Chain A
Amino acid sequence: MGGPRVINTNTSSGNLIRDSALGLVPETLDYYLALNRKIWECGPLTPAEIEIARLRNARTVNCVFCKSVRYDIAKADGLTEDKIAMIQDDFRDSDLTEREKLIIAFTDQFLNNPSGLTAELKIALLAEFTSRALVHLSLAVAHFSGFSRCAVSLGGMPDELPTMEISLPQ
C-alpha cells in the first residue's frame, strides 16, 4: 500500500466525507453531499437497489473503501450479506431477481463499454424500468463511479478493510 497523496489535517467533524480529502475543497463539498443524499433519498429506486449498483461499481473499480462500506438504509431496506455475496462475476446464475441482475448489467455497461449497449439489453431495461428509474440508476452509478475513482486516485488505499456499516453522510 502506498501512502495517501493528499492529507486533510482538519478532520474533526466526525463526518466521513467532510473529514476526507474532499474536505480540502469546501466550494464543492456541500453540493457533493447534497447530491449524494438526494440520490439515496429521492427517486424511484429503493436504497437496496442503489446499494447493489454502488457495490458493483466498487468491486469493478476496486475501491477497497467503497467495497467495505454498507449503507444502513440499504440494510434496513432488506439488503442482506447473502445477497451482496451474489454480486460476483457469475451474478447471472445467482438467485438475484431479474431486476437486480439488470441493475448490475447496466452498471457493467457504464463501467466497461458505455458506447456498446446491445439492443437486447436496451429492450430488457426499458421493459423493467421507467424513464425516471433509468435516470436515477444512471446518475447513481455515475456518482458512485466518480467517488470510487476519486478515492483510488488519492492513494493510501489499504489492501483490505473490514465491513463497516455507515449512515448517509450529512
Chain B
Amino acid sequence: MGWVSSGDDRDSTIGELAELVAPFDALYASLWTQQHLPADILELCRLRLAQLHQCSVELQRHEIKMSAEKYQRLAFWGEDSVFSQAERACLAFTEVYAMDVQALTDQHADAVKMHFGDAGLVLLVEALGILDGMTRLSLLWQLTANAEQPNAPGQLL
C-alpha cells in the first residue's frame, strides 16, 4: 500500500478521485490503439523509461505482450540487432527524453519521423509525457511491486 491513499496500485490510488478515473483511463487507452506508432514500440519505450527510473512496479506492468528476448535485451538495445532501426530511433529518443528533455536534438526527432512521420513523433512525445508521469507517480506514491509476480526480465539496467 502506498501512503497517498488506501490503494495499493495505480488504479486504486487514482480511484480515490473518481471524477478523474474515466478521463485518465480513456486517454491512457487511446495511446495503445492509435495508428501512428506501433503499440509494441511504445511498450518498449515505456519499459525503458521504467528501467531508467528504476521503477519495479512499472517493470512488472505489461501493456502489450512482447517477446521475452526483447524484454531481456532492452537495456542493451543500442548494441543488439534484435531491435529494428525504427525501435532504436524511438528508444534513443526515449533515453534522452528521460534524462534531459532539453537535450533532444533535431537528429533525434528526424530519426523517429523517418519511420513514423510527424504524427508519429507527436504521438511519441505525448505518450512519453504520460508514461514518464505515471512512472514518477508510482515512485512518489511508493507503490510496491508484487512479490509473488515475476519481474519483467528487462529490468536490468
**Which residues does A use to contact B, with CB under 8 Å?**
2, 5-7, 21-22, 24-25, 27-28, 31-32, 34-35, 38-39, 42-43, 61-62, 109-111, 114-115, 117, 122, 126, 131-132, 134-136, 138-139, 141-143, 145-147, 149-150, 152-155
Interface residues of B in 1-60 (CB under 8 A from A): 3-6, 13-14, 16-17, 19-20, 23-24, 26-27, 30-31, 33-36, 53-55
Judged by a CB distance under 8 angstroms, whether B133 is at the interface is yes
Establish whether residues B27 and A142, one from each chain, have CB atoms under 8 Å apart when the complex forms.
no
Judged by a CB distance under 8 angstroms, whether B126 is at the interface is yes
Count of chain B residues near A, Cβ 8 A: 50
Judged by a CB distance under 8 angstroms, whether B81 is at the interface is no
Establish whether residues B125 and A153, one from each chain, have CB atoms under 8 Å apart when the complex forms.
yes
Establish whether residues B17 and A135, one from each chain, have CB atoms under 8 Å apart when the complex forms.
yes
Interchain pairs with CB closer than 8 A, number: 151
Q: Which of A132, A141, A150, A155 contacts B126 (CB 8 A)?
A: A150
Q: Which of B101, B121, B134 contacts A142 (CB 8 A)?
A: B134
Q: Which residues of B contact A141 (CB under 8 A)?
A: 133
Establish whether residues B119 and A24, one from each chain, have CB atoms under 8 Å apart when the complex forms.
yes
User: Complex Cα distance A117/B137, Å?
Assistant: 11
Q: Which of A31, A43, A61 contacts B20 (CB 8 A)?
A: A43
Q: Which of A6, A109, A110 contacts B121 (CB 8 A)?
A: A6
Chain B: CB-nearest residue to A38 = B23
A42-B19, A132-B17, A149-B132 known; A142-B122 Cβ under 8 A:
no
Establish whether residues A35 and B6, one from each chain, have CB atoms under 8 Å apart when the complex forms.
no
Question: Can you list 5 A-B contacts with CB-CB less than 8 angstroms, sorted by A residue number?
Answer: A6-B121, A22-B122, A34-B27, A110-B137, A114-B140
Q: Which residues of B contact A154 (CB under 8 A)?
A: 109, 121-122, 125
Establish whether residues B101 and A35, one from each chain, have CB atoms under 8 Å apart when the complex forms.
no
Q: Which of A134, A147, A152 contacts B5 (CB 8 A)?
A: A134
Q: Which of A2, A34, A62, A134 contacts B26 (CB 8 A)?
A: A34
Interface residues of B in 44-92 (CB under 8 A from A): 53-55
Q: Which residues of B contact A132 (CB under 8 A)?
A: 16-17
Q: Which of A25, A62, A135, A145 contacts B133 (CB 8 A)?
A: A145
Q: Which residues of A contact B145 (CB under 8 A)?
A: none
Not counting A27-B35, A28-B31, A114-B53, a sample of 17 additional A-B residue pairs whose C-beta atoms are within 8 angstroms of each other reads: A2-B106, A6-B121, A22-B126, A24-B119, A25-B119, A25-B126, A31-B30, A35-B27, A38-B19, A43-B20, A61-B101, A110-B137, A115-B139, A135-B4, A135-B17, A138-B4, A146-B133
